Structure 1
């Protein structure tokens, strides 16, 4: 039998020593024996001998000649001597040795969670009791100060909430879903399909953050004006709670959970606003940050913003039941016009734009330095990439052209340009300004064109690859708006890209550089968007809308003199039965029936069909 330490006997011997040490810990050790915890982690043989003999060892492993090691008089357990914590002590004693301000985090979290659950349950119970009566509804009605306008300001001091013990959003003890509950109560009790809540005041509600407003856009999506004045909101990033997930990540498209109708926002006396505008240039930074999050704003803090706004009429939402929609589904679908390759307002516009395109794109491909003379001195130039491909194009062509397409090439040459995407690449005023180039700095413009913007090759000899829409920009007919869509080959990679380029063109003055270099017009604005390759199917001969049950039915229009068709031009006797037929089929009075026929070329069927489409928008006096 091998008695060496490395043999099995040595292992069994070590096990016996370990069991002896364990018995000592549990109270079975002989008098005068103590376990040296540090020694147990060091040189095992010498330490075990020292522990067995009751004498300590020095650093060299020799027995000390000093007073033999004796058992301490303390009755603390081993665990208390290792950790310094007495398990039998009270919590205040346990925390006595901790640094000031330190707390038992786990116990505090459990205690806070229990308190929050209790408060939430109490609030739900109170709301449930109040919802059974009319008192809560009457209080909500008192907050509706005008049709579609709700004033929920100063809720912490509201006498009725204090009397009922309800905690409003912004209260430090309010449940996390208090905001969602209040917005839902407003939607359920104050909104109707014909009267949406469009203005909401939440001033002076002690909102240090806007987490309680995260459900507001989804519950009250038609809000156009929002007042958050007087709240101690500590940073501008809290405004992300009023954006959809995509908007908060920098995407430009609206989605569920966004206030896409918001045009007025008030943040007077809000903490982050006060701190920001106190800095040099703070007001511009503040306005830029807010507009970056809500690009549709027209009024900020009660001050109209200096912005270029195109007047768009929003049609009211028409709510129809399933029964109301059945006649529309049964009726064949028609379009007034088919898809056309291009649109020019008249021959004069067509001639100017075609001459301009021939000169501009030839120089853009071959000699960009000569383009400089085609711009007015105060013109603006910008290029922005759109890296998202068309899903419809992918669905139609991905299978047929998979083996013919070259390997994809990175968009990096275009994304590295200072683009106009204010959600992703432009986060400061300086970056926003850098997106615009100007002929006033000729050297910088030429350097940018020749070194940063990739070289291109446009199919100038193939008219089917181009779609040009052009019309007069104003009534004076001295400016033309031209939207040009097409494709080009990016060099040197030979990758095909699609593009959309919008020009505002004006007549050149006789002494201008544009006239001296034979430009047919001068460029006032040049805005280019580069896409992934999309093809030409949106305007070529394959894109007709007439297919299956879909037909193209051009509308009837008056003659050049403004008169109606000869059948009803001057014979009131011929019009009377048509008016009566529309009146019987629609229920409208004679004046509205006549108006409906006039707007639809005195075609009874078309007038009735148009009536069905706009039934929800017709005023009640049409049926008197």
Structure 2
């Protein structure tokens, strides 16, 4: 290419160029600023990417067959997230034309702002959300009238092309590849890869590296998403956010890298009435410190319940511009209790550093707890553990109506393969009295047999417990070293009253220990593991939702006994805990998603919710597998397994 004779000389490069004033107000300014509140972070671009290439008819998600793409992108299979080396632009230099820059605020510079523009292009196109950042360099540049022609390595072209339509120094710049459209000429290998590339592009355009801020506000107004018709139907809209979070996860080699790269997120101005569409954010970015939910449609606090205690490091939360401010004027008190490290709510300080330090200080528990994870509230978990095992040993007939109701479930299983304590002198084995009703899922594989060994309601629980041998557990205070107790608060526990469809807060309590089986003639010592899910209700104010007991040959307590018990101090009741997980569900599957799957299967098969859940438990929560499992055992199921006639 021959430059026009009256064109300015090419911009200087190197130290001379770097000394010039760079990027006058050259930050990306593609989205509307968030006003009227304290900003979580510096707003990155949210505006259009103007591709010269016209999208395919109906967008890449227009056809029914292509709706499967987002499901694949959000699935559990491994997807390679390496940059596709500019999607086929391998080797050599690529020429790009930049226009619209000549009337910027930097035009008064000696070179018309060229050096500042080049520096900005290199910096912004080098930003990548992921573990493999790339340092983009412009190899050559020349001014041709109002055009800036730059040459870059083929693998860097995509990063600069992504800046098409971005704001720099008060103007929007247009970038296109000479000799071809903005979109890469080489066709991507599959529609799924094209979708993932699109989602990755959206994330990177909305990410600000300096402030570690991901701006997901006003997604429905994003030009690229509108061109792809993402929000034209509920089907694609509901799959979009989980798919984008999956792409984000796969962009990093380690979760720690992802947590370090993104500390602030905005979901402002998205017309959210609840968290159903965006719930996966808490799984992908559980350690964010700043969260903006302003100017949405949250009318009640229960619309936010699925994120209670989900962000353990949250320091600043913004909820301004939501109807709940008028509907529940005292919402601040409850929200502050959800997040133990929250310092500011709607820009107002709610805790000092001293308050947080005091909250996290070590407090001895009233009775020996043998686990670093014990979270209680009002002494509920402690009182339950004390009362339950005393009642189980001495008065099971009175214990059952005290803690169980008609929706409570109890089951036990015998683990005959568990290792035995080599120092134990008593005879082992003799499980004959237990095996008939044991629900060991590794041995009992048929759905009807599994269901028959799950006992629901006070009458059924009382009858099976009466059949178990009399027991004597060690004293919690005098023989503390024989116990290990874990407890944590979990959301989404079924509400017995039905007032809260999304569930209520409850406790997940796990107990490991031992007991003496007081059988006539030959007492035996056994080890056990017992897991309770508790919810509010019942005579005691606490009801057992689920009780699962595992019995095994005595294996000792060495595995959970401190090395120096005499100098051991109790862990804090308020120590930072892992993010609460849905009990019994695989990682990455929320309670709301599980409930939707159960409801869909129940509608399709006519099963009750309980039997539908059992189908999912049997196949690892795979929907197609659950349908197949139902088909295999349908003829063997009892009449009460069906709420409605099966389809």
Normalised by the length of structure 1, the TM-score is 0.29
- Structure showing the higher helix proportion among its residues: 1
Q: Normalized against structure 2, the TM-score is what?
A: 0.28
RCO comparison, higher one (Cα < 8 Å, 6+): 2
Over alpha carbons, which structure has the higher Rg? Answer: 1
